[in-house]
Amino acid sequence: MKLKSILFAILTIILSGTLAFGQSNQADLKKKKQQLQREIDQLQRNANKAASNKKLTLRQIGDLNKKISLMQDKIEVINSEMRSLDLEINKNSKTVNNLHGQLGQLKKEYASMIRFAQKNQNSYTKMMFIFASNDFHQAYM
């Protein structure tokens, strides 16, 4: 809109200048017209470039905002994973501690069974000898 106003003002100046000089040299007027048209075209290119840069900049800002949002979401997911892994580590640590306790208890039970078996080995051996014999005389010997 602003560019159209500038173009209208320039054209008005050109037309009024032409009427004022009326009988001026046609070649000079044509050169002046071409010069003004080049300036207008340059202004239009600058305006288009500025608009393009503005759109590009706005798009880049939007893209950066989206990227920031996605990175924040990713950070939240990573934090959730870390919390989940911490809970799992704590659970596994408790399980390991419980298993160490059970292992200690089983070692104690095993040691007492070995001692019991060692103490009673002679009597079991004698009983097995008696029960394995074919007759009383064989068991007595």
pLDDT tens, per residue, the chain with 141 residues = 566 666 566 656 665 655 455 555 677 777 888 888 888 788 788 878 877 777 777 778 888 888 888 999 998 899 889 988 999 999 999 999 999 999 999 999 999 998 887 777 766 677 776 777 777 666 565
DSSP letters spanning 13-71: HHHHHHHHHTTS-HHHHHHHHHHHHHHHHHHHHHHHHHHHHHHHHHHHHHHHHHHHHHH
pLDDT tens digits for range 100-128: 999 999 999 999 998 887 777 766 677 77
- At 55, give phi and psi (nearest 5°): -65, -45
The full set of domain ranges for the chain reads 2-140
pTM: 0.46
